[in-house]
Structure 1
Amino acid sequence: MRLCLCGLLLMTLAGCSSNKPMINTSQSLVMESSVLSAGIITDEPTLASRDGQKRASSVLYNERETPVTVHYRFYWYDDKGLEITPEEPAQTQTVPAHGSTEVVSQIGNLTASKVRLYLFL
């Protein structure tokens, strides 16, 4: 019984040891639930090379009758899954009612091979 309680305590403490969420770099789109509740939908970002830079973009669609202001940030990674710095600050975009808008990020580091788009309100 004592061994079982110790094991349960260790599992609980291990689950609480970090306040940072685990992020999988192969997950290219992260949306907070509030964004979905606000009527915003999108696809995973697309990557392209343009004028010696990497470019990531995604189109946000608003299914609601009112404009929605969304905050977003692109995270860039190399082939090894390491985040490329410097980090871009969060940006803000208003998606018109029953409309769409494109969010874009560019980086001059050609070793960038993966991108993740994080959306929040």
Structure 2
Amino acid sequence: MRQWLCGALMLALAGCSSDKPMINTSQSLVMESSVLSAGIITDEPTLTSRDGQQRASGVLYNQRETPVTVHYRFYWYDDKGLELEPQEPPQTQIVPAHGSTEVVSQIGNLTASKVRLYLYL
């Protein structure tokens, strides 16, 4: 009984270490199925650092005959998986027919080490 109580107490204390939930940041690209169905493909976003800014970018490719309007949002995380503030609002980009376009986000928080790109129509 005592071991169980100690384990429960440690688990409760671990959960109180931050006011923000930790997120598994190993998945850096999230695409709704409708985006793929619309003919949009992409790779995981790349992360670079320059002049005190972290920059994330990704290239969206359109495999279809018509332009596609894509909505996207970048989410920034630190080494512990905590989401960083301030959050950017969702953005919109038109990917030309049989073309490509780059989506970009920048953050001045140097603790940012991971990013997630979320794409939807």
TM-score using structure 2 length: 0.80
Name the amino acid aligned to 2:51.
Answer: D
Q: Look up the match of 1:57.
A: 57
Q: Could you list the per-position Cα deviations for residues 3-38 of structure 1 after superposition, in whole angstroms to 9, with x for gaps in the alignment?
A: xxxxxxxxxxxxxxxxxxxx6311000000000000
Q: Look up the match of 1:98.
A: 98
Q: Look up the match of 1:9.
A: none
Q: Secondary structure at the match of 2:111?
A: coil
1:1-121 to 2 correspondences below 5 Å: 24-121=24-121
> 2:46, 2:68 → 1: CA distance?
22
Q: Secondary structure at the match of 1:27?
A: coil
> 1:80, 1:29 → 2: CA distance?
18
Q: Could you list the per-position Cα deviations for residues 32-57 of structure 1 after superposition, in whole angstroms to 9, with x for gaps in the alignment?
A: 00000000000000000012100000
Q: Secondary structure at the match of 2:34?
A: helix
Q: Calculate percent identity across the aligned residue pairs.
A: 90
Structure 1 segments of 4+ aligned residues over 6 angstroms from their partners: none
Quick check: 2:24–2:81 contact (8 Å CA) kept in 1? no
> 2:115, 2:76 → 1: CA distance?
5
5+ residue gaps in structure 1?
Answer: 1-22
Aligned length: 99
Q: Could you list the per-position Cα deviations for residues 68-115 of structure 1 after superposition, in whole angstroms to 9, with x for gaps in the alignment?
A: 000000000000000001110000000000000000000000000000
5+ residue gaps in structure 2?
Answer: 1-22
